[in-house]
Amino acid sequence: MTDRQPKDAGLRLQLDHRPGDFHLQTALDLPAHGVTALFGASGSGKTSLLRLIAGLDRPDSGTLHIGGDCLVDTGNRTFVPPHKRRLGVVFQEARLFPHYRVRGNLTYGMPRPDPERFASIVSLLGIDHLLDRFPATLSGGEARRVAIGRALLSEPRMLLMDEPLTGLDGPRKQELLHFILRLTREIAIPILYVSHDPEELTAIADHLVLMHEGRVLASGPLDDLLMRFDLTAELGGFDAASVIEAEVVGQDVNYGLTLLTLNDGQHLTIPAVDAAVGERLRLRIPVRDVALALAPHSGSSYRNQLQATITDTAVLPDNPTAIEVRLQLGNQSLRARLTRKSFEELALDAGQEVTVLVKTVAFALRR
C-alpha cells in the first residue's frame, strides 16, 4: 500500500510473484527523478522486486510501466526482455567481461559511439587510469565503478543498484558512495537503490520504499517516512532521526564550526564541514539529541536553539515511558523523544510553541 502517490510517476507497477514459498505482492508508484531506496529486513523481497523490474524474472501476474512504456502486462502477454528495457543494472558482483579491457567493457553496451559522453562518465567515476586494465586486476571498488560506468553508458532511463557497496571496506565504501552521490547530482537519472544500511540511505535516498514480507509497507519522501510514528519500529535501523536541509552561510574558523540557515531563516551550527557559502547540506538529527524547553535557554551547553511548534505527540507500544513529539520549523519537520515525566512537567501539548535544544547535528551530505 502506498501512502503518497507522486504526481510525476516514473515507475508504476503492480506485481504478484511466488518464487518457492515466498509471496511478493507489491503495488508502487515512484517518481521519475532522484534516488528511491528499497529498504526492509533480510528476505522482505527487495532483490526479488528488483529482478522483476529488470526483467530477470517473470511475474505470475501484474503490470509494469516505466516512463509511460508498458514493459510487463501479463493480461496481454507483454514481456519486454531485459536488454530491451533500457535499464542499467548494477549488482553486488560487478559482472564484467573478463576477456575485455575496462575500455571494452565500458563501450560494450553503448548504443552509438559518443566520445564526449564516454569521457565525461569516465572522469565522473574517476576511472581514466584503468581503461587499459583487465577486470581481474581491479579492486572490488574499482570494478564496481566500471560496472556503474558501463550501465550509465548504455544510456538507461533508470539505474537499478542492488547493494552496490556491500563487501567493500570502510574507505572504499565511502569513496564509492561519494561517486554515486556525484552521479545523482550531475546526471539526471532516477536510481532504484537496494540497501539495508540506514546510514548509506540517509545520505543518498530522496524517497523510501519500506518492504515487509513481500509487500510495500510504506512509500514516500525519506524525511516524511522518518516522521511517521507508526513506522518507528520498522525503521528501527535508522535509529529514529530527522533529516533536514540547510544552507551554508559562513565558517567559524576559530571554533571549527560551520554556520547554517534553515529555510525559515533560523540558524544552526555544526562541526566544520568543508563547504562553500550557498551550498545546501542534508543533516541528520537523532531524536534522542533533541530536548524541549518552554523558552529560550541561557546557560546551556546546547549550541543550537530553535523555535518550533509541536504538531503531534504519541506513545509507542514498545516504549510506554517515552513521548514521541513531532515539531514544525518552517516547512520542515523534526522529531524528539522525551520522557513522559518531563513532558508532563512542562505541560506540553500539540499547538504549543517551544524552544528546541539540539545537541548533535550530523552532516549527511551535500545536496
Ligand X SMILES: Nc1ncnc2c1ncn2[C@@H]1O[C@H](COP(=O)(O)OP(=O)(O)OP(=O)(O)O)[C@@H](O)[C@H]1O
| Closer to ligand X by Cβ: residue 213 or 224 | 213
Residues in contact with 279: Cβ distance below 8 Å, sequence separation at least 6, in sequence order: 247, 248, 366, 367
User: Rounded to the nearest whole angstrom, what is the least distance from the CB of residue 260 to ligand X in the complex?
Assistant: 35
Closest CA to 356 of 289, 264, 270, 293: 293
| Closer to ligand X by Cβ: residue 197 or 224 | 197
User: Rounded to the nearest whole angstrom, what is the least distance from the CB of residue 37 to ligand X in the complex?
Assistant: 12
User: Rounded to the nearest whole angstrom, what is the least distance from the CB of residue 92 to ligand X in the complex?
Assistant: 9
| Closer to ligand X by Cβ: residue 48 or 258 | 48
Q: Estimate the crossing angle of helix 140-153 against helix 115-124, to 10 degrees.
A: 150
The closest residue (CB) to ligand X is 20
| Closer to ligand X by Cβ: residue 44 or 184 | 44
Helix (H) or strand (E) holding 235: none
User: Rounded to the nearest whole angstrom, what is the least distance from the CB of residue 199 to ligand X in the complex?
Assistant: 16
| Closer to ligand X by Cβ: residue 194 or 336 | 194
User: Rounded to the nearest whole angstrom, what is the least distance from the CB of residue 241 to ligand X in the complex?
Assistant: 22
Measured between alpha carbons, how far is 9 from 98 in angstroms, rounded to an integer?
Answer: 38
Helix (H) or strand (E) holding 142: helix 140-153
Q: Name the DSSP class of 125.
A: T
Measured between alpha carbons, how far is 66 from 3 in angstroms, rounded to an integer?
Answer: 20
User: Rounded to the nearest whole angstrom, what is the least distance from the CB of residue 254 to ligand X in the complex?
Assistant: 46
| Closer to ligand X by Cβ: residue 95 or 129 | 95
User: Rounded to the nearest whole angstrom, what is the least distance from the CB of residue 340 to ligand X in the complex?
Assistant: 36
| Closer to ligand X by Cβ: residue 207 or 326 | 207
Contact positions vs ligand X (CB under 6 A): 19-20, 22, 40, 42-48, 196
Measured between alpha carbons, how far is 160 from 173 in angstroms, rounded to an integer?
Answer: 18
- For residues 273 and 342, the answer to whether their CB atoms sit within 8 Å is no
List strands edge to edge, sheet with 87-90. Answer: 87-90, 158-162, 191-194, 35-40, 207-212, 215-221
Residues in contact with 301: Cβ distance below 8 Å, sequence separation at least 6, in sequence order: none
User: Rounded to the nearest whole angstrom, what is the least distance from the CB of residue 48 to ligand X in the complex?
Assistant: 3
Cell of 201: 540511505
Question: CB atoms < 10 A from the CB of 53, how many?
Answer: 26
Per DSSP, the residues of 218-267 read EEEEHHHHHT-GGGTTTTGGG-SEEEEEEEEEEEETTTTEEEEE-TTS-E
| Closer to ligand X by Cβ: residue 45 or 55 | 45
* Strand 353-358, strand 290-293: pairing: antiparallel
